[in-house]
Amino acid sequence: MKYYLSILIVLLASSLMANPEYYPMTSIVEGFSSNWCVNCPDSYAGMNILDATAHNGELLYMRYYTTSGDLSSPVIEQRFEHYQVFGVPAVIFNGKIRIEGGGEDVVNGSTYHNAYSLFRHASSPLKMSMNSWNASTGAASVNIEMVSPTLQLSDEKVYFLLIENDVAEEATRVVRDIAYGAFDLSGAGTSVTKQHTFTINPAWNPANLWVVAFVQQANNVVLQSTSSLSLPAYNFRVAMDWNQFNLVTTPNNPYTGPAMWFYNLGLSDDYQMQIVVDSAPDDWYFNYCDEEGLCLPGSVPMPLSLAAGTNKGYHLNILVGSSGTAHFRFRISSPNLGTYDVPFRLRTNDVAADDPIQTPLAPVLGSAYPNPFTAQTTIEIQNTKKSEDMWIDFYNLRGQRVDSIFYRNNNQELSSISWTPKPELSRGIYYYRLRNSEQKPKRLIYIP
């Protein structure tokens, strides 16, 4: 199989960008937990595996504890209410993707890895940095800079989280307090400084305290985040504002991708870069070009030097032959950095998508009837042809999962499923929702 073009590298005309209009995203992963949760150790194990693959400038992970004594507080419970989290464990990535429960794929980190892969090379219209943090006084200051020339933010919220590590054997990254403020920002290069001073409890260990700041919109989408944690001396990032896992082109045509930007956010370094092809048709040739118009063969390691704080733009330039799908990686490496891979998936438009990250559409839970009910209630379900089989979970007011029933999709547009509470369940208010779904839970009133 050939992955190089020995005679000709095709240079396609394209509009050249002088500077990126975005900045690498620092992802925030909010874990929802308790000290009585049976499956929470599964979540801790999986997140520890994921956290080990990213540094503090790429991913920030913390935990909220509900109804867990001095690990909890009213402001923490408000975060559960904010996201409508009724069962633990739950993990939310950048306010967008929610994963609930435990199990083998959670323990080994694969479920979390798949979710984070959508954000690892994501971009943000904002650049955030922690100006100062004093663990003794609780004073924190963050700078928020607009990178996008078009985005206008008005009355947006910046959240401050106070976090303590190593509180107990199974309790670390514990969010102790939450505060927020509002700001307006527009125009590339403009910035605003926001400050907050936490009240430090004498029982907390100042040496284990750190702070996170993030901007979250009303739809829960996190735009950017930063923390007081240290960053690696050699800090290389790649960011793009398009989906690298769903690239589509036509057979027997050259493919030119949109710009992606390489950022050196650490010390000056000398890299090697090349394209590594995992699988592709034999008649596809993998090259890339910089945003100044110089095109390079993908299979040959090429040098790249970036001074501290600089960036450089590139785009894929692939000669596509016969129909098929290609899985490949842009690899950047140096003795200081190690190996940094950026995966891609490109297919011709006559080939079905094989994206494992895309999931079937979930059914939509409707109302339950009767409600209130005395012995059994029936839940309406609306399907699409792509709906998958799902678990429906039931929670009490403490957020504890008290029952689950399995729903097998029958491909009918409307269907239903019945729930009979277990004998040990007492009268009261319960909630039901689809597992791993963003749909809001619905309320039941049980009066036996």
Out of 2-6, 55-59, 74-78, 156-160, pick the least confident.
Answer: 2-6
Q: What is the mean pLDDT of residues 236-264?
A: 95
Rg over CA atoms, the chain: 25
Residue 65 has pLDDT above 80, yes or no: yes
At 317 the pLDDT is 95
Measured CA to CA, the distance from residue 230 to residue 28 in angstroms comes to 16
Residue 11 has pLDDT above 60, yes or no: no
Residue 359 has pLDDT above 80, yes or no: no
Which DSSP string do the residues of 253-280 spell out, in sequence order?
EEEEPPPEEEEE-SS-EEEEEEEEEEE-
Q: What is the mean pLDDT of residues 277-284?
A: 94
Beta bridge partners of 152: 186
Q: What is the mean pLDDT of residues 95-105?
A: 91
Q: What is the mean pLDDT of the chain?
A: 90
Residue 8 has pLDDT above 70, yes or no: no
At 357 the pLDDT is 43
Measured CA to CA, the distance from residue 253 to residue 247 in angstroms comes to 14
* Domains of the chain listed by start with CATH number: 23-226 (2.60.40.10), 241-348 (2.60.40.2310), 364-446 (2.60.40.3080)
Question: Please, how many CA atoms are within 13 Å of residue 339, restricted to the half-sphere of its CB?
Answer: 9
130-147 per-position pLDDT tens digit? 999 999 999 999 999 999
At 414 the pLDDT is 75
User: Given pLDDT bands bounded at 50, 70 and 90, which one contains residue 353?
Assistant: confident
At 6 the pLDDT is 35
Helix axes 110-117, 40-51, angle to 10 degrees: 50
Residue % of the chain over a pLDDT of 90:
74
